[in-house]
Structure 1
Amino acid sequence: MTAPKMPLEQELAAAVAIVRVGLDRIRDAACRTEAVGPHAAALQALYDPAKPDAGVLAAVADVIGTITVSLADVDHEAIDRVTELLDEAQGHVQDSTGDRVRHALTFLEPLLPLCEECMQRRPDVQVIPDPFSTALYPEETDHRQIPLCPPCATKRFEES
Protein backbone atom coordinates (compact mmCIF):
# COMPACT_ATOMS: atom_id res chain seq x y z
CA MET A 1 0.00 0.00 0.00
CA THR A 2 1.43 3.37 -0.98
CA ALA A 3 0.90 6.54 0.99
CA PRO A 4 -1.34 9.15 -0.59
CA LYS A 5 0.65 11.69 -2.56
CA MET A 6 0.98 15.20 -1.18
CA PRO A 7 -0.47 18.05 -3.18
CA LEU A 8 2.21 19.75 -5.30
CA GLU A 9 2.26 22.86 -3.12
CA GLN A 10 2.92 20.81 0.02
CA GLU A 11 5.52 18.65 -1.71
CA LEU A 12 7.45 21.72 -2.87
CA ALA A 13 7.09 23.43 0.53
CA ALA A 14 8.52 20.33 2.22
CA ALA A 15 11.41 20.21 -0.26
CA VAL A 16 12.17 23.90 0.32
CA ALA A 17 12.10 23.35 4.09
CA ILE A 18 14.58 20.47 3.76
CA VAL A 19 16.90 22.59 1.62
CA ARG A 20 16.67 25.45 4.11
CA VAL A 21 17.60 23.13 6.97
CA GLY A 22 20.65 22.01 5.01
CA LEU A 23 21.66 25.58 4.23
CA ASP A 24 21.15 26.54 7.89
CA ARG A 25 23.53 23.72 8.87
CA ILE A 26 26.15 25.00 6.41
CA ARG A 27 25.78 28.54 7.73
CA ASP A 28 25.89 27.42 11.37
CA ALA A 29 29.00 25.29 10.77
CA ALA A 30 30.75 28.32 9.29
CA CYS A 31 29.63 30.99 11.72
CA ARG A 32 29.97 29.31 15.11
CA THR A 33 33.59 30.46 15.23
CA GLU A 34 35.75 33.28 13.94
CA ALA A 35 38.24 30.78 12.49
CA VAL A 36 38.62 31.00 8.73
CA GLY A 37 38.68 27.22 8.18
CA PRO A 38 34.99 26.54 8.84
CA HIS A 39 34.01 29.55 6.73
CA ALA A 40 36.10 28.27 3.80
CA ALA A 41 34.74 24.74 4.26
CA ALA A 42 31.17 26.06 4.15
CA LEU A 43 31.90 28.04 1.00
CA GLN A 44 33.41 24.88 -0.53
CA ALA A 45 30.18 23.06 0.32
CA LEU A 46 28.41 25.64 -1.82
CA TYR A 47 31.02 25.55 -4.60
CA ASP A 48 34.26 23.60 -4.54
CA PRO A 49 36.57 24.60 -7.41
CA ALA A 50 38.19 21.14 -7.24
CA LYS A 51 34.76 19.47 -7.62
CA PRO A 52 32.51 22.04 -9.32
CA ASP A 53 29.76 19.48 -9.97
CA ALA A 54 29.46 18.42 -6.33
CA GLY A 55 28.32 21.46 -4.35
CA VAL A 56 25.04 23.13 -3.54
CA LEU A 57 25.31 25.50 -6.49
CA ALA A 58 25.79 22.54 -8.83
CA ALA A 59 22.67 20.92 -7.40
CA VAL A 60 20.65 24.10 -7.95
CA ALA A 61 22.01 24.41 -11.50
CA ASP A 62 21.15 20.75 -12.14
CA VAL A 63 17.55 21.27 -11.02
CA ILE A 64 17.20 24.32 -13.26
CA GLY A 65 18.72 22.36 -16.16
CA THR A 66 16.40 19.41 -15.68
CA ILE A 67 13.35 21.68 -15.53
CA THR A 68 14.58 23.45 -18.68
CA VAL A 69 14.89 20.18 -20.60
CA SER A 70 11.45 19.09 -19.41
CA LEU A 71 9.89 22.40 -20.49
CA ALA A 72 11.41 22.14 -23.97
CA ASP A 73 8.70 19.60 -24.81
CA VAL A 74 5.89 22.08 -24.09
CA ASP A 75 4.26 23.35 -27.27
CA HIS A 76 3.91 27.10 -26.79
CA GLU A 77 5.31 30.13 -28.57
CA ALA A 78 7.00 31.47 -25.40
CA ILE A 79 8.80 28.23 -24.50
CA ASP A 80 11.93 29.07 -26.49
CA ARG A 81 12.32 32.32 -24.52
CA VAL A 82 11.59 30.52 -21.23
CA THR A 83 14.21 27.85 -21.89
CA GLU A 84 16.71 30.51 -22.98
CA LEU A 85 16.21 32.39 -19.71
CA LEU A 86 16.50 29.19 -17.69
CA ASP A 87 19.68 28.21 -19.55
CA GLU A 88 21.13 31.61 -18.59
CA ALA A 89 19.99 31.15 -14.99
CA GLN A 90 21.59 27.72 -14.84
CA GLY A 91 24.88 29.09 -16.12
CA HIS A 92 24.71 32.08 -13.81
CA VAL A 93 24.22 29.94 -10.70
CA GLN A 94 27.19 27.71 -11.27
CA ASP A 95 29.51 29.85 -13.37
CA SER A 96 29.03 33.41 -12.18
CA THR A 97 28.16 32.72 -8.55
CA GLY A 98 30.59 29.81 -8.42
CA ASP A 99 33.34 31.99 -9.87
CA ARG A 100 32.81 34.60 -7.16
CA VAL A 101 32.94 31.93 -4.44
CA ARG A 102 36.12 30.56 -6.05
CA HIS A 103 37.70 34.02 -5.92
CA ALA A 104 36.68 34.44 -2.28
CA LEU A 105 38.25 31.06 -1.47
CA THR A 106 41.45 32.15 -3.23
CA PHE A 107 41.63 35.22 -0.99
CA LEU A 108 40.91 33.13 2.11
CA GLU A 109 43.51 30.44 1.35
CA PRO A 110 46.52 32.30 2.85
CA LEU A 111 44.51 32.65 6.08
CA LEU A 112 43.90 28.89 6.39
CA PRO A 113 46.04 26.89 8.80
CA LEU A 114 48.99 25.00 7.34
CA CYS A 115 49.24 21.24 7.87
CA GLU A 116 52.73 20.55 9.20
CA GLU A 117 52.87 17.16 7.49
CA CYS A 118 51.66 17.77 3.90
CA MET A 119 52.33 21.53 3.96
CA GLN A 120 48.89 22.31 2.50
CA ARG A 121 46.58 25.06 3.69
CA ARG A 122 43.24 23.39 4.35
CA PRO A 123 40.04 24.35 6.16
CA ASP A 124 40.11 21.13 8.22
CA VAL A 125 43.58 21.58 9.75
CA GLN A 126 43.46 21.47 13.55
CA VAL A 127 46.14 21.81 16.20
CA ILE A 128 46.12 18.48 18.04
CA PRO A 129 48.48 16.46 20.22
CA ASP A 130 50.93 14.62 17.95
CA PRO A 131 49.16 11.33 17.08
CA PHE A 132 52.51 9.55 16.66
CA SER A 133 53.84 10.29 20.14
CA THR A 134 50.38 9.98 21.70
CA ALA A 135 50.06 6.43 20.35
CA LEU A 136 53.58 5.46 21.42
CA TYR A 137 53.52 7.13 24.84
CA PRO A 138 49.88 7.39 25.95
CA GLU A 139 50.89 7.90 29.58
CA GLU A 140 52.64 11.17 28.73
CA THR A 141 50.60 14.35 29.11
CA ASP A 142 52.80 16.89 27.36
CA HIS A 143 52.68 15.81 23.73
CA ARG A 144 53.76 18.35 21.15
CA GLN A 145 50.81 20.22 19.64
CA ILE A 146 50.91 19.96 15.86
CA PRO A 147 48.67 21.39 13.12
CA LEU A 148 47.45 18.48 11.00
CA CYS A 149 44.73 17.78 8.46
CA PRO A 150 42.67 14.61 9.10
CA PRO A 151 44.45 12.46 6.47
CA CYS A 152 47.88 13.38 7.84
CA ALA A 153 46.75 12.86 11.45
CA THR A 154 45.54 9.38 10.51
CA LYS A 155 48.78 8.67 8.67
CA ARG A 156 50.91 9.74 11.66
CA PHE A 157 48.82 7.58 13.99
CA GLU A 158 49.12 4.57 11.68
CA GLU A 159 52.90 5.04 11.46
CA SER A 160 53.22 4.78 15.23
Structure 2
Amino acid sequence: MNTIDFTPLYRNSVGFDRMASLLDSALRSEQGSAGYPPYDIEVLDDNQYSIALAVAGFDRSELSIEVERGVLTVRGKKQDDQSDRKFLYQGIASRAFERKFNLADHVEVTGADLSNGLLTISLVKEIPEAMKPKTIEIKGAGNVLEHREHAVESDGDKAA
Protein backbone atom coordinates (compact mmCIF):
# COMPACT_ATOMS: atom_id res chain seq x y z
CA MET A 1 0.00 0.00 0.00
CA ASN A 2 1.27 3.45 -0.87
CA THR A 3 1.79 6.07 1.81
CA ILE A 4 1.12 9.75 1.39
CA ASP A 5 3.73 12.37 2.36
CA PHE A 6 2.04 15.20 4.29
CA THR A 7 5.22 17.24 4.87
CA PRO A 8 4.12 20.12 2.57
CA LEU A 9 0.84 20.40 4.47
CA TYR A 10 2.60 20.55 7.84
CA ARG A 11 4.88 23.41 6.70
CA ASN A 12 2.10 25.99 6.58
CA SER A 13 -0.70 24.66 8.77
CA VAL A 14 -1.26 23.93 12.42
CA GLY A 15 -3.45 21.31 14.04
CA PHE A 16 -3.72 18.78 11.21
CA ASP A 17 -1.57 16.16 12.98
CA ARG A 18 -4.21 13.44 12.88
CA MET A 19 -5.06 13.93 9.21
CA ALA A 20 -2.54 11.31 8.10
CA SER A 21 -4.01 8.66 10.38
CA LEU A 22 -7.58 9.56 9.33
CA LEU A 23 -6.73 9.20 5.64
CA ASP A 24 -4.82 6.00 6.28
CA SER A 25 -7.76 4.43 8.13
CA ALA A 26 -10.19 5.66 5.46
CA LEU A 27 -8.13 4.06 2.70
CA ARG A 28 -7.92 0.79 4.62
CA SER A 29 -11.65 0.65 5.36
CA GLU A 30 -12.55 1.35 1.71
CA GLN A 31 -10.47 -1.63 0.60
CA GLY A 32 -12.02 -3.88 3.23
CA SER A 33 -15.67 -3.01 2.58
CA ALA A 34 -15.56 -3.65 -1.19
CA GLY A 35 -18.04 -0.85 -1.79
CA TYR A 36 -21.07 -2.45 -0.15
CA PRO A 37 -23.53 -0.98 0.33
CA PRO A 38 -23.19 1.79 -2.24
CA TYR A 39 -23.72 5.31 -0.91
CA ASP A 40 -23.87 9.00 -1.82
CA ILE A 41 -22.69 11.96 0.23
CA GLU A 42 -24.53 15.16 -0.69
CA VAL A 43 -23.91 18.79 0.28
CA LEU A 44 -27.32 20.36 0.87
CA ASP A 45 -26.19 23.75 2.18
CA ASP A 46 -23.03 25.37 3.57
CA ASN A 47 -23.43 23.44 6.85
CA GLN A 48 -25.85 20.64 5.94
CA TYR A 49 -25.04 17.23 4.46
CA SER A 50 -26.76 13.92 3.87
CA ILE A 51 -25.50 10.39 3.39
CA ALA A 52 -27.75 8.01 1.45
CA LEU A 53 -27.02 4.27 1.59
CA ALA A 54 -28.71 1.78 -0.75
CA VAL A 55 -30.00 -0.85 1.69
CA ALA A 56 -32.65 -2.60 -0.41
CA GLY A 57 -34.13 -5.59 1.37
CA PHE A 58 -33.22 -4.38 4.90
CA ASP A 59 -35.92 -3.51 7.42
CA ARG A 60 -35.52 -0.75 10.05
CA SER A 61 -35.06 -3.34 12.77
CA GLU A 62 -32.08 -4.81 10.85
CA LEU A 63 -30.18 -1.51 10.67
CA SER A 64 -28.30 0.42 13.35
CA ILE A 65 -26.60 3.83 13.35
CA GLU A 66 -24.04 4.85 15.96
CA VAL A 67 -21.73 7.83 16.44
CA GLU A 68 -18.68 7.48 18.66
CA ARG A 69 -15.61 9.75 18.85
CA GLY A 70 -16.25 11.38 15.48
CA VAL A 71 -16.97 8.15 13.59
CA LEU A 72 -20.43 7.42 12.19
CA THR A 73 -21.01 3.67 11.89
CA VAL A 74 -23.92 2.14 9.97
CA ARG A 75 -24.52 -1.58 10.39
CA GLY A 76 -26.95 -3.94 8.73
CA LYS A 77 -27.63 -7.55 9.69
CA LYS A 78 -30.40 -9.56 8.07
CA GLN A 79 -32.53 -11.71 10.32
CA ASP A 80 -32.45 -15.40 9.49
CA ASP A 81 -34.97 -16.21 6.79
CA GLN A 82 -36.94 -19.19 8.09
CA SER A 83 -39.04 -19.59 4.94
CA ASP A 84 -38.45 -22.31 2.37
CA ARG A 85 -37.98 -19.84 -0.48
CA LYS A 86 -36.11 -21.14 -3.54
CA PHE A 87 -34.42 -18.61 -5.80
CA LEU A 88 -33.47 -19.12 -9.44
CA TYR A 89 -31.29 -16.04 -9.07
CA GLN A 90 -30.69 -13.86 -5.99
CA GLY A 91 -29.21 -10.49 -6.92
CA ILE A 92 -30.40 -8.47 -3.95
CA ALA A 93 -27.63 -8.59 -1.39
CA SER A 94 -28.63 -9.80 2.03
CA ARG A 95 -25.23 -10.03 3.68
CA ALA A 96 -24.34 -8.14 6.82
CA PHE A 97 -22.39 -4.92 6.42
CA GLU A 98 -20.65 -2.22 8.40
CA ARG A 99 -19.89 1.16 6.82
CA LYS A 100 -17.91 3.86 8.68
CA PHE A 101 -17.68 7.59 7.99
CA ASN A 102 -15.21 9.92 9.72
CA LEU A 103 -16.97 13.12 10.76
CA ALA A 104 -15.23 16.49 10.89
CA ASP A 105 -15.20 18.44 14.14
CA HIS A 106 -18.61 19.87 15.08
CA VAL A 107 -20.55 17.70 12.58
CA GLU A 108 -23.58 16.16 14.27
CA VAL A 109 -26.11 13.58 13.08
CA THR A 110 -29.58 15.13 13.22
CA GLY A 111 -31.72 12.25 12.00
CA ALA A 112 -32.20 9.25 9.73
CA ASP A 113 -34.95 8.06 7.42
CA LEU A 114 -35.54 4.76 5.59
CA SER A 115 -37.61 5.11 2.45
CA ASN A 116 -37.72 3.20 -0.85
CA GLY A 117 -34.63 1.16 -0.01
CA LEU A 118 -32.50 4.22 0.82
CA LEU A 119 -31.28 4.99 4.33
CA THR A 120 -30.73 8.75 4.45
CA ILE A 121 -28.74 10.20 7.35
CA SER A 122 -28.92 13.97 7.92
CA LEU A 123 -25.89 15.84 9.25
CA VAL A 124 -25.26 19.43 10.23
CA LYS A 125 -22.06 21.30 11.02
CA GLU A 126 -22.66 23.56 14.02
CA ILE A 127 -19.67 25.76 14.76
CA PRO A 128 -19.68 27.02 18.38
CA GLU A 129 -19.82 30.81 18.84
CA ALA A 130 -16.34 30.78 20.40
CA MET A 131 -14.93 29.28 17.19
CA LYS A 132 -16.65 31.57 14.70
CA PRO A 133 -14.52 34.29 13.11
CA LYS A 134 -14.63 37.64 14.87
CA THR A 135 -13.38 41.06 13.88
CA ILE A 136 -10.76 42.68 16.10
CA GLU A 137 -10.77 46.47 16.23
CA ILE A 138 -7.40 48.06 15.48
CA LYS A 139 -6.92 51.23 17.46
CA GLY A 140 -4.88 54.08 16.02
CA ALA A 141 -1.80 55.63 17.61
CA GLY A 142 -3.86 58.79 18.35
CA ASN A 143 -5.87 56.89 20.94
CA VAL A 144 -2.72 55.84 22.77
CA LEU A 145 -1.31 59.41 22.81
CA GLU A 146 -4.60 60.84 24.08
CA HIS A 147 -4.56 58.32 26.90
CA ARG A 148 -1.00 59.26 27.83
CA GLU A 149 -1.82 63.02 27.79
CA HIS A 150 -4.75 62.44 30.14
CA ALA A 151 -2.50 60.46 32.46
CA VAL A 152 0.12 63.27 32.50
CA GLU A 153 -2.54 65.94 33.15
CA SER A 154 -3.93 63.86 36.01
CA ASP A 155 -0.44 63.55 37.53
CA GLY A 156 0.09 67.35 37.10
CA ASP A 157 -3.19 68.06 38.89
CA LYS A 158 -2.03 65.97 41.85
CA ALA A 159 1.28 67.96 42.10
CA ALA A 160 -0.48 71.34 42.19
Q: TM-score, normalised by structure 1?
A: 0.25
Structure number with bigger Rg: 2
Bigger helix fraction:
1
Bigger strand fraction:
2
Q: Which has the higher contact order (CA 8 A, sep 6+)?
A: 2
